[in-house]
Structures are given as C-alpha cells and as structure tokens.
Chain A
Amino acid sequence: MISLRTLLLFYRRHLRVQPLRELMAVVGVAAGVALLFAVQISNSSITSSFEQLVHGVAGHATLEVASRSPEGFDASIGEKIAGMANIRTAAPILTQQITMVGPKGSKALTLVGADERLAALDGKMISSFESYAKASQRGLLVVTQPTAQAIGAVRGNAVVIQAGGRTEHLTLDAIVPTSDLGTLAESPIAATSLPVAQTLARLPNRITRLLIEPAPGRESQVRQAITRRFGETLNVRAVDAEAQLLASAAKPEAQLTALFSAISLVVGMILAYNALLLASGERRAFFAYLIQLGTPDSAIVASLAFDALILGIAGSILGLLVGDAISLLAYRAPPGYLTAAFPIGAQRIVSIQTISIAFAAGVLAAFIAAALPAVALLRGNAIEPELTGRALSLLRRPRVSDSLVFVCGATLVCASIAASLLWPAATVIALVAFAGGLVLCLPMIVRYALKLARGASRHSSDPSARLASAELLSSPTRSVALLATGTIAVFLMVTIGGSVADVQRAVRAGAEETVSNADLWIRPGGAENVYGTQPFAYAVTQRKLQQIDVVRSVLAYRESFLDLPNRRVWVIGVPPQVPSPIAESQLVKGNEATATERLREGGWAAISQTIASERHLRLGESFNLPTPSGFARFRLAATISNYGWLPGTILLNADDYAKLWQTADASQLAVTLRSGVPLATGKLAVQRALPTGSALGVQTAEERQTQVSKVLGSTLTRLNQTSAVVLVAAIATVIAMMISAVWQRRGRLDALISIGMSFGQLARLVFYESGCVLLGGCLIGMAGGIFGQYLVDSWLHYSTGSPIKFAGAWSLGLRTILTAVAISIVASAIAVLRTVGFRPKAAFSTE
C-alpha cells in the first residue's frame, strides 16, 4: 500500500517539473465548475429567493385564497372564511405594484398592506417589519435597507408612491436593516397597514389574498370547504403555489442554462484533458521509471488517482470562487420578463446542495480528464512493451477502435436528429446526444482527414505542409483534442448565439406589431411594467385626452396576469375598435379576419398554442376560463404565440374583460393622433393634458417598442454570457496547446532549424499543424452549431409557443471562426518566437 507521503512526494515532483501543465488543468476544471456553479446559483436563486419571500410573509400559513384580478375581492369574504371551522389564523393582505421614488431614484416594489393578523403568522419578514414599525410609533410605511439605499430614502422623510396611475406622498417610518432579514432584504417588498394600502390603491374594503393557517391536520378539509364555497371566483391553493408558477415561467431559461452549463463542464473537462496531454512524454518517462523500479500496479493507479483528486479539488475550489464572482457580476439580475410578473429581488441563495453538486462535478471531470491520458499513456508504445505488459494488467483489455467510437457517435447524431423531428419534447436530450455524438465522431474524422492531408502533402513542394501532415498523423490525440476544443467552442457560440438572436428577434417582432396599433401609449409604472398589467382609473384621463384637437381616439386596453393551475398567463383585453387585435407574427392557427371579427363579437378568445395543445382544443371549441366573476365560457377564435410572455397569453375582447373582471379600469391607453400631427407635438399635448398628480407615462410606439425589446430581450442573455466564458476558456487552451505543442517538440524543431528550416517555414509548419486543425474543428463546430441552433429554436417554439424563426447564425459562426484563426496565427507566432528565441541546443544532447 502506497503511503500518503509517497503520493505527496510524487505529486510535488509533478508540480515542480510541470507547474504550467498543472495550472492549466486546474484552470480547465475551474472554468467548467465556475459556469456550472454560477448558473446553478442564478437558477436556484430565482425560485429559492421567491420561496423564502413567500414563507417570510406567510409564516405558518399553508393555504391562501387569492384574487384573480389586481382589484382583489371583498374583505367580507375574508371574514367569512376566517370564521370557518378548523382555521387557526386567517390574515388578509392587499398587494399592489407601486413605484417608490426617493431623492436618488425610483424602484418598482410590491406593497403589502396587512394588519396584526399577518404578524400572528410569524413570517420572518413581516415580524421584522412589524417590530420596526412599532418602534417608529407610527408604523405606516416600512422598507428594507437595500430599497432605502437604492432610492436614497431616509427614515422620517416623505417618499413618493406611484400607484394606480396616481402620485401620493407617504412618510417612511422604518427601515429594516439587512442584518435582520438576511437575503430577504433584497426582496422588492414594502409594507404598510391594510387601510393605508387600500386607500393608496383606491380599493376600500378590498383584499387580494387571505393567508390561512389551518388547524393541525385539517389543511385538506379546510381547502375543500373554502373551494366549495368560494372556488368559483377565487383561487384556493397552497401558499407556495405561486412559487411553482414562477418555476414554471422560468423553466425554459433554467433548462437551457443548465444544459449549456453542463456542456460547459464538459468543455472544462476537455480543457483539463488537453492540459494533461501537454507533458505526456515526461509523465510517460516517469511511469516507465517507476515500473523499472518495480512499483506495483496499485501504487501507479493510486498515484494517478491522487493526482486527479488534487486536480479536482483545486479546480473545484477555484471554480467555486470564480463561479461565485460570475454570479455576482454577470448573472445577478433576474431576467426582466420574470420581474414584471413576480416580486423577485436580486438576492443570491447559495445552498450546500449547489456547492456540493458543482464540487462533485469538478472532481468527476478531473478524474475523467486525468484518466483518459493516463490510460493512453500507460498503454502507449513509448514504454517498453514488456514494461507496459507488466505495468497495469487492468489496462490490457482490447483497445476500443476509432471505428466503433465513430459508429457510436454517428448513431447518436442520427438518433438525436430523428428524435428532435419526431418527438419535439425530447429536443433537449437530443441536443446533448448530438453534441456528444459529434465529439465521438471526431477521432475517426480526424484520422481520415489527416490521411487525406498526408496524401495531398506528398504532392506539395512546401516542406512545411509535408512535415505538418506527418507530425499530425503521428500524434492524433493532440489533434483530436485541439479539434474538439475548436468544435465545442464554436458549437456553443453558434448554437447559443444563434438561438438567443432568434428568440430576441421574435420578441422584438412581437413587440413591434403589438405596439403598432397606436401612436402613443399611456400607462403607469416604469420599465418593469413591461406587460402593462397595472390597472388605473382612466375615465377622466380619457375624457380630457379626447378633448384635445391632436387626438383622434383613445382606446383602453385591459391587461392582467391570471393564474391557471400550472401557469401564470397574461390576459390582454383588446378594445374592439382596434383594427388588428391579433398581431400577424403572433397568429399560429386560424384566419386573422375571422378571428378579429369573433373577438369583436365577444365570447371568443385567442389563446397560446401551448395552452390550446395542453387542453386539446381546436378552433371553434369552447373552454372555461377562471375569471374573478367565476368560470367563463369562451370559444377558441385562434391560437397565438405568447407575445413575449413565455408561459402563455390569452387575448380577448376588452369589454368581455371589463365584464368578467368586474372592473372599469384600464391598464394601458392607446392614443391615435389625427393624421398630420407630428409625434413629438402629439406626445407633448397628451402629456400636458394628463390630470395633475398623474403618475402615467406617455411613450411613442417606437419608445414603447424599444423598452419592451430591451426588457424582453434580456431573455436568455445569460446563455450568451455562458458561451462567451466558454469561448475565452477555449481560446486560452488553444493558445496554451499550440505553444506547448511547439515547446514539447523543441528538440526536433531545433534539429529542423539546424538542417536549414527558415523562420517562415517553421511558422507555416506550426500554423498548418495547429491553425488548420483548429480551423477544421471550428468548421465542424459551426455546422454542428447551426443544427444545434435549429434544435434549440424548435424546442423553444415547442415549449413556449414563441414564433421563433430559425435563421442560421452563419455570420456569427464565421466571425467566431475568423477570431479563432486570427488567434491561432498570433499563437503560432508566439510559439515560433519562443522556440527560436531559445538557444537552439535542445536538438543537441551532449550538455
């Protein structure tokens, strides 16, 4: 049994002899772990922080009765429910989207209005708020420290509250320090008393939620009882149901980022593998020496495992630190489209589970990266045959041929293509299989490509080409590693970059068409209210606007989010006077003219294709929709995509909306100017006509479109950041590989210089060897990446219903390849300069 001391001795020797190799291997593993960790933090933070918030507010409550509209339901219903049997506590709250403005800026917040019954539920956040509110003697408005800092608010001073299109002033009574709330402090929440919230919202005696703590063991009975009495008009559900809706909304992005972070880990592994290949000759000699000394098999295996363990631990620790920094700097802000519908803050939740997964993945990647070259090295011909035979009997199994690996790879590629075409739900798995298959095909492709190149070079007068093809053919492992690095880096760049561009194009197209129905748009809230779901009383405003001569019409859109059992959908009530209620790019099934006519008629709705498919609905068929006034029956006029809200959208007549949602409010006003009126003039006139104290914003269609594109365009941007990190890591590896490839063969290259090779011939040799291989890898990566982009587009279209049109990212691919080739030329030059910069004595061995 080899002692730990000996293992450490061996490792110290490796470290001393090849510090660069060890460093690069560690960096490779770290790059993969960093991305995986950062993405995991980012993904889990969104749902975990929201769950924390839910429990921070709801405390012991396990059930909630929630309104289906922002206007809430009558508080008397809450009282009735509170009086039902088996309910220990029932706490009414009124939540409202507000913008709080302070001396330094503004922030979109969810204002929670509650009374002492909520505090009785003992939620951490509310308890803290309550204790600080009590201390302030007045206890009207409480915010967290990060919120106060962001807007520059000071305790005791007034802040501006924009709510329901109006501006109010309230005194900030208390600021809860971060030390009391921990990560909850980042939640965009403010609290006030229930009556103040009702006054601010102009919703007297209304509440939006009732949080319920049932008697122990009675939750199911309580739920059934409430559902029986009030389930027609209200949602009765588990208190954390909203967190599940959030998880559902974030699922496409979370799945894709997780998928690509896993691929990134594989890239990290390849980078580490490449690094470990760098000094294979030296290691081989060391193993041969150990074998000659009679070192047993187990000791060599233990030594290799120990090296991998150290590499894995070092790489994982470094990766965790870098990943933490990436999640802080790049992935901190949650996607804009989610913050518009859920009160998500920028808190980061780093759990032990997240750390463990990333750490274990790093160690595993290190083991695989270290095992592959080690096996190749111990089976290699460079060790004397009798020594190899004795060294590790466990490695004497038949070698897996390149042909078999190629067949497996090709089968995976074909199966993934077939699966994605026949079974769109399996596209994510197909993409992984496709990437894996592509890499498995590489050794065979490389072998035959090199044979072809070798044959062609025999007819070339350029000795560098002949030398390069011969050198590559004699060390195919390095060529495969370099090719694979180029392939995967470009594959990821093109797949991710292309898909993100397609998604963003679809979102922009939708936004453009949606807002093109009017010249000016009026709505409350800032950029966060991207879906225009904050209601406001508009009658006075509409009347005033219609009186100014530049305005031809003012139409009221009514929009809000509606919770279905498994998704939060965006309901858009389109005024019947709008010429094209369904944006052309958003129409999936149905005739636009017929659907328009039916929507105007009332009783018809257009719904997202994903929802229609889920309910097996065909055009003309009827379906029930849970509305604030009860289940309403609609007929399907058309199926549409999602207008940029991934979980799905429902389009109906604004009059139907007003009737079913029992509201007279609007959420957006679409203003059409008289012909010939310049936009700027019209906008100014409309702004002047708004009532005093109005918190409504006026935007031109173009401004609105830009804002929507900006917020919704942030969808999937984390993927771009992921691919950029992978590309940087891959570039670093390629440069290191090219320099090390030259450095390892400096003896032979010096010999070539001695026998008359010129600087130019040497530079060409290095470029042919590395640049051409890299170019080949990049081209394969681009072809694979375009197909990967097609798969991701299809999957996003399938899972979200977004009208994503595939447009092959050839230009991005070519740009990436040009960058890679340019870098390889620079790296070749560096490598050659390093080689010729040394004393040319490596070829000579007498000293």
Chain B
Amino acid sequence: MLELERACKYYSTPAGEIRAVDDVSLVIHASELVALFGPSGSGKTTLLLLAAGLLRCDSGVVCFEGHNLGALSKRDVLEYRRTKLGFVFQNFNLVPGLSGEENVALPLLLRGVHRDEAHERALAALESVGLLARASHSPAKLSGGEQQRAAIARALVGEPKLVLADEPTGNLDSETGDAVLDLLSALPRERGAACVLVTHDARVARYADRVLALRDGRLVAYDPEIAELGR
C-alpha cells in the first residue's frame, strides 16, 4: 500500500548536509502494524513526514496505492492526507477549547463533511475507543490516556487506510500506554488499516507485525537492546 523506494531526504545546516533519510526502501502492506524504532535524530520523523506527503523526497519515490506522492499536486496531497491518513501524536495535539466530540469531528469538518454527519461519526469513533461518556468534555478535563484515546478516535474518524502514530505512548504511564497500544494494534485487525508506530517504547515490538529500525537515516536490523538504550 505504502512504498518507499530508495527514498532520500537531506537537510542543509551550517554544520553541513544531514542525511535524515538515506536510501530507504520499504513497503507497508494493508492491515499491517509496523513498529519503527531508532534513536533521536535517526530520521524517524522525517520518514513519517515523507509518508504523509508533508515532505518531498530529494531522490527516490514514495508511493501510496501506486500513486507517486511527489508527483501529486498540493491539492491532491491534501486530499490524500484528508482521506487516506490518520495521525496520532505524542502530545495528542487536541484543540483545548473544543470538546472531545468536536476534536474528533475536526478532520471531517476540514474536508467539508456536513456538521451533522461529522458529529454522528465522531460520536461513533469516540464510542469505539470507549470515550462516549466523555464526548462533551474539553481536553483539559480528560486524563492523558483519555486524551490519547480521543486522538486515536480523531485519527480513525475519517476511516483512513494508514495511521501514522508518533510516540503514542511517550507521555503515558505503562498501564495507560498498554491500553493505547491495544487500541492501535486492533486497527489492522478490525478496520483493515495499516499502522506505522514510531517509538522508543520496546513494548511496542510485542504488538507489531513487523519491527524496523533506523539509524543515521538508514534502515538497519532491529536490536531490542539498542531500542531500550535509545529510549
């Protein structure tokens, strides 16, 4: 479904050129949960941004369902993110003044879905993560785990084909983190969506169908000890 072929992304800095993603080739299949490990600065975020079409490769290609993201117009890339992708962030990034339901409905409203339909679907998404009772609460009144579940509901509400999760357990205690990982690991099984989890958390490996590791922008063999050290 998502395919990176010899993808490269470089940044120019005063200290010289940094190869954030260096010649990475990778295929993510539908209904697959992939965990991506790597120490800070290894290029994980850049890889996510390339997959989301938020960055373009300097060389190589990133394709989604056969479409080269680099060749798409800005409008098409926006449409790709709106309809095919879901995002989960470490800091949740919920909008503080909106209720849980409104936060979840936001991706639908942004792509022009009528507000009644958007709210109906948002409630369903919240129900699926066990937060229906907290739908009217603002993020400030939710616990960290609840906020992340609301964020997962927001990622799922548009019925994406690929969920990109960036350190989803980074700000949570281990018990809450497990609950969140349970939710994310169920995605491929229950919704048929692929999920890429960028993480330092070695527990994630247990949930993943496949484990990848990045170092200095290159894919390397996964080593659980190094993953722990990286954390």
Contacts and interface: CB of A to CB of B under 8 A. Distances in A.
Contacts of A847: 40-46
Given A463-B110, A466-B109, A756-B107, A845 B96 contact: no
Given A454-B97, A843-B93, A755 B110 contact: yes
Nearest to A841: B45
B63 to A, nearest CB: 20
A752 B96 CA distance: 13
B152 interface: no
A844 B166 contact: yes
Nearest to B99: A470
B90 interface: yes
B166 A845 contact: yes
A580 B97 CA distance: 70
Contacts of A688: none
Contact of A463 (B106, B167, B170): B106
Contacts of B87: 751, 754-755, 843
B102 A470 contact: yes
A463 B97 contact: no
B191 interface: no
Contact of A845 (B54, B107, B111, B167): B167
Nearest to B78: A758
A474 interface: yes
Contacts of B97: 454, 469-474
Interface string B160-171: 000000110010
A470 B101 CA distance: 13
Interface string B115-142: 1000000000000000000000010100
A756 B82 contact: yes
The interface centre, meaning the residue of B95, B107, B114, B154 with most chain A CB atoms within 10 A of its CB, is B95
Given A755-B110, A846-B44, A847-B40, A840 B49 contact: yes
B106 to A, nearest CB: 6
Interface in A759-805: 761
Contact of B166 (A454, A474, A748, A846): A846
Given A846-B166, A846-B198, A466 B98 contact: yes
Interface residues of B, number: 44
Contacts of B44: 846-847
Interface string B63-95: 000000000000000100110001101110101
A461 B119 CA distance: 12
Contacts of B49: 839-841, 844
Contacts of B91: 747, 843, 845
B115 A461 contact: yes
B220 interface: no
B107 A467 contact: no
Given A454-B97, A847-B41, A466 B154 contact: no
A145 B207 CA distance: 92
Given A463-B106, A466-B109, A840-B49, A471 B78 contact: no
The interface centre, meaning the residue of B44, B102, B154 with most chain A CB atoms within 10 A of its CB, is B102
B57 interface: no
Interface string A194-237: 00000000000000000000000000000000000000000000
A757 interface: yes
A461 B98 contact: no
Contacts of B96: 470-471, 474-475
A846 B154 CA distance: 20
A524 to B, nearest CB: 73
A347 B52 CA distance: 68
Contacts of A761: 110
Given A845-B167, A846-B198, A756 B93 contact: no
B95 A755 contact: no
Contacts of B138: 474
Nearest to B151: A751
Nearest to B54: A840
A768 to B, nearest CB: 13
A754 B54 contact: yes
B55 interface: yes
A466 B102 contact: yes
A844 B48 contact: yes
A473 B95 CA distance: 11
A747 B199 CA distance: 19
A757 B41 CA distance: 27
Contacts of B81: 754-756
A754 B102 CA distance: 17
Contact of B111 (A467, A471, A756): A756
Interface in A633-666: none
A755 B154 contact: yes
B78 A751 contact: no
Contacts of B86: 755
B105 to A, nearest CB: 9
B174 to A, nearest CB: 19
The interface centre, meaning the residue of B154, B155, B166 with most chain A CB atoms within 10 A of its CB, is B166
Contact of A470 (B95, B107, B110, B198): B95
Nearest to B96: A474
Contacts of A471: 95-97
A187 B24 CA distance: 82
Contacts of B110: 463, 752, 755-758, 761
Interface in A807-847: 839-841, 843-847
Contacts of A843: 87, 89, 91, 93, 166
B114 A461 contact: yes
The interface centre, meaning the residue of A381, A472, A753, A755 with most chain B CB atoms within 10 A of its CB, is A755
Nearest to A459: B115
A765 to B, nearest CB: 10
B109 A839 contact: no
Contacts of A758: 78, 110
Contacts of B200: 846
The interface centre, meaning the residue of B91, B96, B110 with most chain A CB atoms within 10 A of its CB, is B110
Given A469-B97, A748-B93, A845 B170 contact: yes
B205 to A, nearest CB: 16
Contacts of B48: 844
A755 B45 contact: no
Contacts of A755: 81-82, 86-87, 106-107, 110, 154-155
Interface string A449-488: 0000010000101010011011111110000000000000
Nearest to B86: A755
Contacts of B93: 747-748, 751-752, 843
Contacts of A474: 95-97, 138
B102 A839 contact: no
A748 B95 contact: yes
Contacts of B199: 846
Given A472-B97, A755-B106, A841-B49, A846 B167 contact: yes
B106 A844 contact: no
Contacts of B158: 756
A474 B95 CA distance: 9
Contacts of B166: 843-846
The interface centre, meaning the residue of A463, A751, A752 with most chain B CB atoms within 10 A of its CB, is A463
A612 to B, nearest CB: 62
A332 to B, nearest CB: 47
Contacts of B45: 841, 844, 846-847
Given A756-B81, A839-B55, A847-B44, A751 B89 contact: yes
10 contacts: A463-B106, A463-B109, A470-B97, A471-B95, A474-B97, A756-B78, A845-B166, A845-B167, A845-B170, A847-B46
Interface of A: 381, 454, 459, 461, 463, 466-467, 469-475, 747-748, 751-758, 761, 839-841, 843-847
The 8 closest A-B pairs by CB, nearest first: A470-B97, A751-B93, A756-B82, A474-B97, A463-B109, A474-B96, A847-B45, A756-B110
Given A470-B97, A754-B87, A841-B46, 4 more contacts: A471-B95, A751-B89, A844-B90, A846-B167
